[in-house]
Amino acid sequence: MLELFGLALRLVSDKGSVSPQLAEHFDTVLRQAKVLAKDPSQVQGQISPQAVQLARRLREVTALRDAVDPISDIASMTPAMAAQILNSLGEGVAP
């Protein structure tokens, strides 16, 4: 379910950048997932299925929550941070 989100992480980890469209998708999923994981009652509008999946993982995996916490968008993420998030996601992202 987190295929595009995971793809963005892999591209940042390997190449340091992604296309504008993929960056926009990543930022939307990340923003929605953080809100949903913190307080589901604060969510407004339509929620991406990937955001729901990521929010669930954020609530379950402390290492993932810690890795994602300092990131506000894809532009604020280093390749090392992307690799750490991928490792923390574990089985949540297809190879």
DSSP one-letter code for 19: -
Domain, as residue range, for 62: 3-90
**Is residue 29 domain-resident?**
yes
**Is residue 55 domain-resident?**
yes
**Is residue 95 domain-resident?**
no
Ordered per-residue pLDDT tens for the chain, 95 residues? 688 999 999 999 999 889 999 999 999 999 999 999 999 888 788 999 999 999 999 999 999 999 999 999 999 999 999 999 999 987 544 44
Domain tally, the chain: 1
**Is residue 17 domain-resident?**
yes
Q: Give the tokens for residue 38.
A: 């913190």
Question: Is the separation of the CB atoms in 93 and 50 below 8 Å?
Answer: no
DSSP letters for 40-92: GGG--S---HHHHHHHHHHHH-HHHHHHHTT-SSGGG--HHHHHHHHHHHGGG
Q: Output the CA angle 29-26-73, nearest 5 degrees.
A: 95
**Is residue 30 domain-resident?**
yes
- pTM (2 decimals)? 0.87
